[in-house]
Homo-oligomer: A and B are copies of this chain.
């Protein structure tokens, strides 16, 4: 294919690696290069034929790249890189600090407009696919409630908290949606639920030699903010099991809209994800949106966009006529 969409990746951690893998599954796209803050010689890609460049050299590639996918973190990488890249490229990112989205939107919108590029921020699954389902739920069923549940997923912050407990050698924490809460929501009862009512926490812990299991368990389940308000279970395992069974990065969750129409009829819409790898799935979403961004840019659109602004058809490599015939 000669007219493949030319994509660049900035930042090569788990997410960047996932983007590289997702592009390899997309015959209409081609990875031009990876840009890293590390010494390029030390960055090992999945495909050794793709070049790695220093992030300082992105400006040289404005004519070679149709869409740049930013794979850095929301805390410090994206607030710095986003506004800069908006002046150079069409961009997709996964900015996920929900409360700061309006400011971040403004910070990339202006440079994107001035340089004539499209910048799609906050793609992925939450924000992203979950946001779309929250929006459609309330637009279609205006009288009702929306519930978002997360998990089963590995939580980095809570895993760190477990590992800081004296006597703990290693461990991980999973956030798990409460089955009881999900059933109440699915039944159309419209319960009022706090985050702590909707989730339970499960810890897998390796003890230091000679540590007191009961003391460790107590220290975890009573930890304020992290565990005290939750139904928390602690499992003790050995180090080999931790490595063998808890090295993946699963995640997922549900968005449920429960509403009523007309003659007091219950209507329930539900979207759920069960992800073997959180970063690889997020990356797959970013790549599909990169296709949409490329098309919007070719149609002459400019400025900041979110998933709310993108018609579903733009995500697919198929033509509109083919989509109507095969998938409608």
Residues of A whose CB lies within 8 Å of any CB of B are 17-18, 21-22, 25-26, 46, 98, 101-102, 105, 122, 127, 129, 131-136, 138-143, 186, 188, 248, 261-263, 265-277, 280-281, 283-285, 288, 291, 306-313, 315-317, 320-321, 323-325, 327-328
Determine the residue in chain B with the shortest Cβ distance to A317.
B139
Partner of A261, one of B22, B101, B310: B22
Partner of A267, one of B142, B248, B262, B277: B277
Given contacts A98-B328, A309-B320, A327-B134, contact A265 B288 (CB under 8 A): no
Given contacts A122-B328, A270-B272, A324-B101, contact A263 B309 (CB under 8 A): no
Given contacts A102-B325, A270-B271, contact A285 B316 (CB under 8 A): no
Cβ A309 vs Cβ B311 within 8 A = yes
A316: which B residues are within 8 A, CB to CB? 135, 138-139
Copies of this chain present? 2
Cβ A277 vs Cβ B306 within 8 A = no
Most buried by B among A98, A138, A143: A138
Cβ A324 vs Cβ B311 within 8 A = no
Partner of A273, one of B143, B248, B269, B272: B269
Partner of A21, one of B263, B269, B324: B263
Q: What are 12 residue pairs bridging A and B, where the CB atoms are less than 8 Å apart in the complex?
A: A18-B261, A18-B262, A131-B328, A138-B316, A139-B312, A139-B316, A140-B284, A186-B274, A262-B283, A267-B280, A306-B328, A308-B320
A313: which B residues are within 8 A, CB to CB? 135, 306, 308-309
Given contacts A21-B262, A270-B272, contact A312 B307 (CB under 8 A): yes
Determine the residue in chain B with the shortest Cβ distance to A104.
B324
Cβ A132 vs Cβ B262 within 8 A = no
Contacts A21-B261, A22-B262 aside, 13 further interface pairs with beta carbons under 8 A come to: A21-B263, A25-B143, A101-B324, A102-B321, A127-B328, A135-B323, A139-B316, A139-B317, A140-B288, A261-B284, A263-B277, A268-B274, A269-B272
Please, how many angstroms separate the alpha-carbon atoms of A143 and B327 in the complex?
A: 16
